[in-house]
Amino acid sequence: MGKPTGFIEYLRELPADAPALDRLSNWNEFHLHMPEDKLRTQGARCMDCGIPFCHTGKLISGMASGCPVNNLIPEWNDLVYRGLWREALDRLHKTNNFPEFTGRVCPAPCEGSCTLGIINPPVAIKTIECAIVDKGWEEGWITPNPPDARTGKTVAVIGSGPAGLACADQLNKAGHTVTVFERADRIGGLLLYGIPNMKLDKRKVVERRVRLMEAEGVTFTTGVEVGKNLAAERLLEDFSAVVLCTGATKPRDLPIPGREIPGVHFAMDFLTENTRFLLDHGFTNGSKPPIFAGGKNVVVIGGGDTGTDCVGTSLRHGCTSVNQLEILPKPPMERAKDNPWPEWPKVYKMDYGQEEAAAKQGGDPRQYEVTAKRFIAGPDGNLSSIEITNISWEKDNQGRFVPNEVEGTTRVIPAELALLAMGFLGPEDQLIAALGIERDPRSNAKAEHGKYTTNIPNVFAAGDCRRGQSLVVWAINEGRGAAREVDRHLMGSTQLP
């Protein structure tokens, strides 16, 4: 695939980003476009490797290796190299309903398992994917394509995140009449309110795809929380099948002294309110969202993507400082011996939020192997500081690594805003309880992977509410898989991929 000697002749190249300090003045996407000739050159680097691990989509050591939606990566890399963009778009849409989402926010496990990555920097797969679909929109190749006929079957999809949208899109293609129920005021779930605008533009990218799905016949209903203002039993009566795609939205808390002090918030509340405010008001006339970081010392507790998004958002608010506490050790600069290819490379890197903090403050805002001990209120009763301490990871008598405080490292740092970004524990209780869905040991909706059926007849579950907190691309994988099984259940067979 690509040019036979391309991987030898050409170096990996990525599109430039807007300068870190410049982009702090706005909420625009900061990845710039790469010229077509350079994209074709990057496609040429895709070597004829024989076994393309990039699209295997396996879990190795608990992490994704290869593309979970099994994108036909070598094929569309070759088509881009040859300048056949329309054909590349068709290949891309065969496996991925929303490449404009994954091309922006996916961490690219495909690149982590690229065969070229054994000896050289891997192929710029994510960049090419995003360029293909963006060109498809620009050229007008992506247009509404409603099904030729309807089956007479109706399906309710609960939740409009990536799993729900993928499930609805596939079921609609099969000719079923699909209604998506979303409790928020806008469609998109995690894609809309969980990911900041500078990573994924809401109006230009998310709403554009939603409008296309509406034109193809999908019905979206917002402001409806099933189990609260719509009886779950009614769905079972009114629809041929129901698919739960509600996500894993129960945040992990930090029950330390002072947790109740005003100024301590869950990260997702902070990010959601910021995006809602941006869409409703646009940060004009000095107005600001309910949770505002401007003029405050901010401490983000948690080192993942959500924590990074909190860092970038706080800097755009104009915070005085931002620190990020990570309980795990600092990753190595290169793959460790117990982290071989094609596993996801667990190596040190600075994401966009850390890059922006470094440009603003002079260094990476993360402190590794550090944990918070208590939140401290000031004279006004609001958060003023946090007591933290270093920890070391040592094995207990059962051989498990556990954190232990390092004596003499306890200190107090200023913080008028603390954001808890420590992951999620599973789906919220209300809907699952209302439907009587059995849970697995991790509190997720119990449904076997590949079948997605729950203990309640005609009710299926997919995405993070079934598998736990995961990647957008895994959610799309599960939404597509659940749609296939719902179609088989309703029609006796299925042609959905």
Q: What is the pLDDT of residues 140-155, one digit of tens each?
A: 999 999 999 999 999 9
In this prediction the pTM is: 0.96
pLDDT bin (cut points 50, 70, 90) of residue 1 is: low
Domains, the chain, with CATH or none? 6-138 (1.10.1060.10), 154-249+426-491 (3.50.50.60), 253-422 (3.50.50.60)
pLDDT bin (cut points 50, 70, 90) of residue 372 is: very high
- The per-residue pLDDT for 427 is 95
Q: Examine the pLDDT at 63 and tell me if it is beyond 90.
A: no
* Rounded percentage of the chain residues whose pLDDT exceeds 90: 92
181-225 residue pLDDT tens: 999 999 999 999 999 999 999 999 999 999 999 999 999 999 999
Residue pair 24/360 in contact by the 8 Å Cβ criterion: yes
- The per-residue pLDDT for 62 is 85
What is the C-alpha separation between 353 and 346, in angstroms, rounded? Answer: 18
Using alpha carbons, select from 235, 246, 241 the residue that is nearest to residue 155. 241
- Mean pLDDT, rounded, of the chain: 96
247-257 residue pLDDT tens: 999 999 999 99
